[in-house]
Amino acid sequence: MSIHEAVDGTGSTDINTSVYMTEEEAITSCTEFMDQSPSFKVCKDVPNVDPNIAINTCVLDILLTNSTQWMIDAREGIKGKCLAEVRVNATLQNETESGGASIAEIVKNISCINDCLGKGKCQNGSCVCEMGFGGGDCGIDLSIPPIIYGIVDSGLCDLELLSCTSANLEGDGFTSEGNPTCRMRTFHLLKSY
């Protein structure tokens, strides 16, 4: 099984698909997946950061769970170690690459959460999402309404205690991008004596 069969084209793993790989196939898939990440490529050369740990973790996860859902976690783990190393290693702050920026600067600028899931560009450590996607890692499809689990306090509000001009929702998929709108009906319950 190739990385393209195990991972969808966006860089996120397909957690609903079980995969059965040999150790060799898992090594190939994990190596290809890691090498797709610009931050992984840079972090491979940072002192005290061993890229083989991420690849080995990825391989073990696949072999133990028969799933590719943990590939991103292995990649994020090595990025975390890399960012920690550039914070504490003063020489990385001063060393310059061919373009003049320090290794620390390069790592910080291309280290976005989940590499923006392939749905955005990493700029200065933050994802700039493609049209139609939002969230910190561009993982929210803005064309899909958020999932609402409920309304805090069942949406009830006592006008004698509060102004009751808003309601708090609980759910997933909320983002500040776009112009989300909720439609609610207000009911007034009168006291019965």
Residue-wise pLDDT for 68-126, tens only, equals 988 989 999 998 999 899 888 888 887 665 657 888 888 888 888 888 988 999 888 88
Q: What secondary structure does DSSP assign to 22-72, as a single string?
A: -HHHHHHHHHHHHHT-HHHHHHTTSTT--HHHHHHHHHHHHHHHSBSTTHH
Confidence of residue 8 (pLDDT cuts 50, 70, 90): very low
Q: Is 122 helix (H, G, I), strand (E, B) or coil?
A: strand
* Model confidence at 156: pLDDT above 80: no
- Give 114's contacts (C-beta < 8 A, 6+ positions apart): 11, 12, 72, 76, 137, 139
Confidence of residue 54 (pLDDT cuts 50, 70, 90): very high
